[in-house]
Chain A
Amino acid sequence: MNIIPWDLGAIPSRFFLFGEAAWYTVQITGLGVLLGLVIGLVVALGRLSSYRPISAVSRAYIFLIRGTPLLVQLFIVYYGLTSIVTIAPIPSAVIALGVHNGAYIAEIFRGSIQSIDYGQMEAARSLGMPKGRAMRRIVLPQAFKRAVPSIGNQLIIALKDSSLASTIAVPELMLRGRQMGSSTFMYMEMFIIVGIWYLLMTSVLSFVIHRIETRLKVSDRD
Chain B
Amino acid sequence: MTEQEQQKKQIKRKKKETIDPNAPFLRIEKLNKFYGDLHVLKNVSLSVKKGEVVVIIGASGSGKSTLLRCVNFLEKSKDGKIFIEGKRIRNQESQLNKVRQNLGMVFQHFNLFPHMTVIQNVMEGLVQVKGVPKDKARKKALDLLEQVGLSDKADVYPAMLSGGQKQRVAIARALAMDPKIMLFDEPTSALDPELVGEVLTVMTDLAKQGMTMVVVTHEMWFAKEVADRVVFMDDGIILEEATPEKMFSAPEHERTLEFLKQVLPPQDSE
Contact = CB atoms under 8 A, between A and B. Distances in A.
B20 to A, nearest CB: 25
Contacts of A218: 157
A132 to B, nearest CB: 10
Given A127-B129, A129-B128, A122 B111 contact: yes
A54 to B, nearest CB: 17
A119 B114 CA distance: 12
Nearest to A134: B128
Contacts, number: 78
B113 A120 contact: yes
Contact of A126 (B72, B116, B158): B72
B115 A126 contact: no
A212 interface: no
A117 B111 contact: yes
Contacts of B98: 128
Given A127-B125, A127-B177, A131-B93, A138 B113 contact: yes
Contacts of A137: 124, 128
Contacts of B1: none
A130 B125 contact: no
A157 B239 CA distance: 61
B173 interface: yes
Contacts of A138: 113, 124
Interface residues of A, number: 24
A210 interface: no
A155 B130 CA distance: 40
Given A127-B177, A128-B101, A141 B72 contact: no
B114 A219 contact: yes
Interface string B95-126: 00111110111010101111111000000110
Contacts of A52: none
Given A127-B177, A128-B98, A129-B97, A119 B111 contact: yes
Interface residues of B, number: 32
A125 B18 CA distance: 28
A117 B113 CA distance: 11
B67 to A, nearest CB: 15
A122 B107 contact: yes
A222 interface: yes
Contacts of B114: 142, 219-222
28 contacts: A119-B109, A119-B111, A123-B170, A124-B113, A125-B100, A126-B74, A126-B100, A126-B103, A126-B104, A126-B105, A127-B100, A127-B125, A127-B129, A127-B174, A128-B100, A128-B125, A128-B177, A129-B125, A133-B128, A137-B128, A138-B113, A138-B124, A142-B114, A142-B115, A145-B115, A218-B157, A219-B117, A220-B159
Given A127-B100, A127-B124, A137-B124, 4 more contacts: A123-B105, A123-B173, A127-B177, A142-B115
Interface of B: 72, 74, 93, 97-101, 103-105, 107, 109, 111-117, 124-125, 128-129, 157-159, 166, 170, 173-174, 177
Give the 5 A-B residue pairs with the shortest CB-CB distance, closest first.
A127-B125, A123-B111, A128-B101, A126-B105, A119-B111
